[in-house]
Amino acid sequence: MHNAFTPASAMAKMIGIIFKALRVYQWSKNLLVFAALIFAQQIHLPHQALKSLVAFAAFCAASSTMYLFNDLIDIESDRVHPEKRMRPVASGALSYGAAVGLIILLLMVSLGLGAALGMGFLLTVLFYLVLTVLYTLALKKVVVIDVVIVAIGFVVRAMAGAVALDVTFSNWLVVCTMFLALFLAISKRRHEMRSLALNAADHREVLGHYTISYLDALILLVAGSTLITYTIYTCSPEIVVRLGTDKLYLTLPFVVYGLFRYLYLVQTDAEGGDPSSTLFKDRPLGVTVLLWGLTCALIIYWKVLIRFVGGHP
């Protein structure tokens, strides 16, 4: 009998381990860098679209750098977590040295791509990296500050997209992104407390300062704030003039359903521990986000589409 273990299979296995360690599925968070391209009505401009793709790649490399760094710092606590103990670093599938090597490589890639888009974007990437390091080493242990820092990370991604393109990003959209990110971050804390129960504080020290009822109150507060700020954004005279349409409010039903659906999953199905995973696993939520994106694109770009269909430049 031939040995099934071959260099090719070993390489494939290692690639799978590396992809898992990089948390490639989490790169969906970095899609926020494309918000500026879409809402600045420049998605049909090849050179601007290319800049957004480079910005996306830079943040994918930067975020994976921080995921690996976090895994090295939290290796002991992850080993007592029912899900995180299966991560490559915690389980031993990826050695400490290999993880350090990947961190150095990814850091060089993220900074190199950042520099290619100009000093402003490079500084934005550096700010994200420094903020995440501070979070990993200290700020994640400070009650409330921990979720605020996570939310700021999302806002930085969104604003980085605007910096890469040298376009203005709406203040209302920044605020809306902040509240939505807080909603997701607080929901994650609730999931951790519910799934880990009495061992929650052993895994994440800050969880010892939270209660389920307190987190539920915060979730409802930021969910309402997200809906209000998005409503104001869609109806803002500034946005109506900038986008050339007052119909963006038609996307509100998708936002309402999306928030309510996520809240339902958090409260009844103990979801919310991993927003990216929840988005991919829950079909109604995934379809809602897709329909929201398509509707936004149709409303914002209908004039461009009409010119394209009519054969006009």
The tokens for 168 are: 């203005």
C-alpha torsion 251→152→185→117, nearest 10: 70
Q: Is the pLDDT of residue 177 over 70?
A: yes
Q: How confident is the model at residue 172 (pLDDT cuts 50, 70, 90)?
A: confident
Residue found by looking up tokens 């402003």 in the block: 120
Q: Are 25 and 285 in contact (CB under 8 A)?
A: no
Could you tell me how many residues make up the chain? 313
Q: Is the pLDDT of residue 271 over 80?
A: no
Q: How confident is the model at residue 11 (pLDDT cuts 50, 70, 90)?
A: confident
For residues 85 and 92, give the distance between their C-alpha atoms in angstroms, rounded to a whole number.
10
Determine the pLDDT at residue 1: 45
Taking Cα atoms as reference points, which of 296, 72, 272, 278 lies closest to residue 173? 296
For residues 176 and 174, give the distance between their C-alpha atoms in angstroms, rounded to a whole number.
5
Taking Cα atoms as reference points, which of 77, 92, 86 lies closest to residue 23? 86
Q: What is the mean pLDDT of residues 202-229?
A: 87
Q: Is the pLDDT of residue 20 over 70?
A: yes
pTM of the model: 0.83
Determine the pLDDT at residue 119: 95
Fold of 15-169: Tetracycline Repressor; domain 2 (1.10.357)
Determine the pLDDT at residue 192: 81
For residues 36 and 266, give the distance between their C-alpha atoms in angstroms, rounded to a whole number.
29
Residue found by looking up tokens 């979720």 in the block: 147
- pLDDT tens, position by position, 118-167: 999 999 999 999 999 999 888 888 999 999 999 999 999 999 999 999 98
Determine the pLDDT at residue 309: 54
For residues 202 and 257, give the distance between their C-alpha atoms in angstroms, rounded to a whole number.
35
Q: Which stretch of 4-8, 156-160, 278-282 has the lowest confidence by average pLDDT?
A: 4-8
C-alpha torsion 173→178→180→186, nearest 10: 180
Q: What does the angle CA 101 – CA 131 – CA 76 come to, to the nearest 5 degrees?
A: 55
- pLDDT tens, position by position, 44-82: 889 999 999 999 999 999 999 999 998 888 777 777 676
- pLDDT tens, position by position, 80-128: 676 777 788 877 788 888 888 999 999 999 999 999 999 999 999 999 9
Pick the residue with more confidence: 68 or 206?
68
Q: How confident is the model at residue 13 (pLDDT cuts 50, 70, 90)?
A: confident
The residues spanned by each domain of the chain are: 15-169, 171-313
- pLDDT tens, position by position, 233-266: 898 888 888 888 888 899 999 999 999 999 898 8
